[in-house]
Structure 1
């Protein structure tokens, strides 16, 4: 008789399970199983920088201006090649229906795995937002997340996808090359 060890779900699997579990209803006579939400570690959550009063440095000690990292837009030839299928999109992730915390965790996990696997170009589907004319939260937030510390080591550049890949509701991402391989 073999014993079966219980496997723990990865963060990505737990996010996906939570999304699917919310769309189902239990069988007749059965109770719904409660699945705890995935807590996003505080170190991974994007945090707005605190606003401080302007300080004037002493003239004797000038400080160089801080350089803020901003991921570059894809160059036009690369974007065209992705759009026309001449460069392969090696991975895709759909963030529709996820909360910001779920989408953030799933995106970071997905990009880290893709980068570790040597993937160069991926497609992230954010959706376009609600029908009332406003932009979707994920459509606005994902590009901002790509400029934060956890994503800096992974993302080289990004741009809106071509219409047949989702248009303004999707983003092409070029991942950085792995160093030392």
Structure 2
């Protein structure tokens, strides 16, 4: 049995539907009169979200890491430079995957490994959440000082579903 649609859900859907444009030669279907929108409290956090016809402002850039130098990436792919460890993030939630990745990178950096393999998977349509989020997590302040670069793995190591992560040397002392 279906539950009735809530007013908030209906309001959100109408916002999304307003962004849709019909294909050439087609017209938008007629809809019943939309219910009046509930009054919006200007101090509520949701009221500060920009309308859908305007892109959200980009105040903070997404952190990006440099790719691994081509020669070093080639050495890692050909296993002339050892891959110190591997981690498989398949089936983990984003929170668990991020925590596991941070612990994995810290451990391997402490052990002195210079390259590791992170297997994220490709996702259902080749656009997996973990695949997109992992480079951002590696560029975050918590790991930035340990990671030298990130590149897509060679086909034999997982291709687009895996990443080589080059680690910086530990300071002596």
| Fold shared by both chains (TM-score > 0.5) | yes
Aligned equivalents of 1:101, 1:148: Cα separation in 2:
14
The corresponding residue for 1:179 is 171
- What is the DSSP-based 3-state SS (H/G/I as helix, E as strand, rest coil) of the residue aligned with 2:139? coil
1:15-47, CA deviations, whole angstroms, 9 ceiling, x for partnerless residues? xxxxxxxxxxxxxxxxxxxxxxxxxxxxxxxxx
- TM-score between both structures, scaled by the size of structure 2: 0.63
Aligned equivalents of 2:114, 2:153: Cα separation in 1:
15
Which 5+ residue runs of structure 1 have no aligned equivalent? 1-50, 55-65
| Aligned mate of 1:143, from 124, 135, 140 | 135
- What is the DSSP-based 3-state SS (H/G/I as helix, E as strand, rest coil) of the residue aligned with 1:72? coil
Structure ID, larger Rg: 2
Q: Does 1:115 align with 2:109?
A: yes
Aligned equivalents of 2:58, 2:122: Cα separation in 1:
37
Do 2:64 and 2:136's aligned partners in 1 also have CA atoms closer than 8 Å? no
**Pair 1:180–1:67, CA change in 2 (3 A):** farther
Aligned equivalents of 2:92, 2:58: Cα separation in 1:
36
1:57-77, CA deviations, whole angstroms, 9 ceiling, x for partnerless residues? xxxxxxxxx998632101111
Structure 2 matches for 1:1-181, cutoff 5 A?
Answer: 70-130=64-124, 133-181=125-173
- What is the DSSP-based 3-state SS (H/G/I as helix, E as strand, rest coil) of the residue aligned with 1:118? coil
Which 5+ residue runs of structure 2 have no aligned equivalent? 1-55
Q: Aligned pairs, how many?
A: 118
- TM-score between both structures, scaled by the size of structure 1: 0.60
Q: How far is 1:147 from its partner? A: 1.3
Aligned equivalents of 1:53, 1:97: Cα separation in 2:
31
Do 2:62 and 2:136's aligned partners in 1 also have CA atoms closer than 8 Å? no
* Root-mean-square deviation over aligned CA pairs: 2.3
4+ residue runs over 3 A deviation: 51-54, 66-70
